[in-house]
Amino acid sequence: MTDDASVAGEPDTRALNDLLNDIYRGQERVTQAQIYRRAVAADLPADLLARIDSLPEGEYAVDEVSDLLGGSVG
């Protein structure tokens, strides 16, 4: 097993963390729509896109959206 392998039964959150780090660079809050558009453009997995799409409309700080989506950025 390598350091970058995900643990069995847990999703690999690296793509989500990378996306959030990129989106929030220089931003305090970002809308759900902006996150979703960037996630689609980044070709994230369908299950993650569905989770992002199910977030209520509005603005989120990085720690809020990370907690809601299961990432580890904050």
Predicted pLDDT of residue 14? 86
Name the residue among 33, 73, 67, 72 with its Cα closest to residue 53. 33
Number of domains in the chain: 1
- Residue 17, domain member (yes or no): no
- Residue 6, domain member (yes or no): no
Predicted pLDDT of residue 65? 94
Expressed as residue numbers, the domain containing 49 is 28-74
- Residue 36, domain member (yes or no): yes
- Residue 22, domain member (yes or no): no
- Residue 53, domain member (yes or no): yes
- Residue 61, domain member (yes or no): yes
- Residue 21, domain member (yes or no): no
Place of tokens 């989106």: 23
pLDDT tens for 14-68 read: 888 999 999 999 999 999 999 999 999 999 999 999 999 999 999 999 999 999 9
Does position 7 have pLDDT exceeding 60, yes or no?
A: no
Sign, CA dihedral 2-20-38-10, equals positive
> Quick one: pLDDT band at residue 73, thresholds 50, 70, 90?
confident
Does position 3 have pLDDT exceeding 50, yes or no?
A: no
- Residue 50, domain member (yes or no): yes
